[in-house]
Amino acid sequence: MEIVEGLWDSYEDDAFIRDKERGVFYDPRKMHPLDYTGNYFSVEGPLNISRSRQGRPVVFQAGTSPEFMDIAAQHAEVIMAPGHDLEYLKAFTNELKRKVQNQGRSPYDLMMMPSHNPIVGRTEQEALEKLREIESWMPKGYRMPKPGMIGSAEQVAEQIEHWYREGIMDILLIRQDQPAGFKDFIQLVVPILQDRGIFRKEYEDDTLRGNLGLPYPENKYTK
């Protein structure tokens, strides 16, 4: 992470002038070799492309170990987290954001993305029938664990809003076993979330970072 973050800062935002008439492609004063030497890698740099329009790619991480939390506190911007236990995730989120703050970062610049497999119906009974349908495709006698989010569209939207208000779901990572699962969620649940102001109706920006509301990372050489 130290290497890739350093390479992403190889060029300042206005390094590339691209003035054909004057024959000036870039300002070499705004190009910075990395010259990194560590225990396992030595990288001179610089990167061979200009800086991203969003400063650098958004850093996603997955894991729950103490070592993961220490690395995430320094570098991560979105955390892919297990979504089966609300109380566990609350404690995990609080501890991780404490570590983020100890690194001199804002805890608001870290987003939580728990994973769920929502099964949605127009009624709760319809959702349960979809669960039984999925089980029918599996080996005889297999009982699929009941998903944490299952029920009518209104019930699933209520659950999502609760997790969102608890501060442990900034993004929902959806898994699906049901062939029409994504379509059901988009058509039935998303409009409810939009009416509640939890899900956007239009994109606010033209980059992933902008649409997540994450801050633009200033180049370390121009800070």
Q: Is 90 exceeded by the pLDDT of residue 179?
A: no
Same domain for 187 and 121, yes or no, is: yes
Residue with tokens 């190009």: 31
Supply the range of the domain harboring residue 87. Answer: 58-115
Contact present, 54 and 209 (Cβ < 8 Å): yes
Among 72, 88, 115, where does a domain finish? 115
The pLDDT value recorded for residue 146 is: 83
Nearest to 189 by CA among 104, 122, 102: 122
Tell whether 184 is covered by a domain. Answer: yes
- pLDDT band with cut points at 50, 70 and 90 for residue 223: low
Cis peptide before 28 (omega within 30 of 0): no
Tell whether 32 is covered by a domain. Answer: yes
Same domain for 156 and 193, yes or no, is: yes
Alpha carbon distance 7, 181 (integer Å): 40
Tell whether 78 is covered by a domain. Answer: yes
Alpha carbon distance 69, 92 (integer Å): 9
- Each residue's pLDDT tens digit, 78-98: 999 888 889 999 999 999 999
Same domain for 90 and 136, yes or no, is: no
- Each residue's pLDDT tens digit, 98-143: 999 999 999 999 999 999 999 999 999 999 999 999 999 989 878 8
Tell whether 215 is covered by a domain. Answer: no
* 7 vs 179, more confident: 7
Contact present, 43 and 50 (Cβ < 8 Å): no
Same domain for 26 and 36, yes or no, is: yes
Mean pLDDT across the chain: 94
Considering the entire predicted model, what is its pTM? 0.89
Same domain for 156 and 127, yes or no, is: yes
- pLDDT band with cut points at 50, 70 and 90 for residue 63: confident
Same domain for 126 and 163, yes or no, is: yes
Q: How many domains are there within the chain?
A: 3
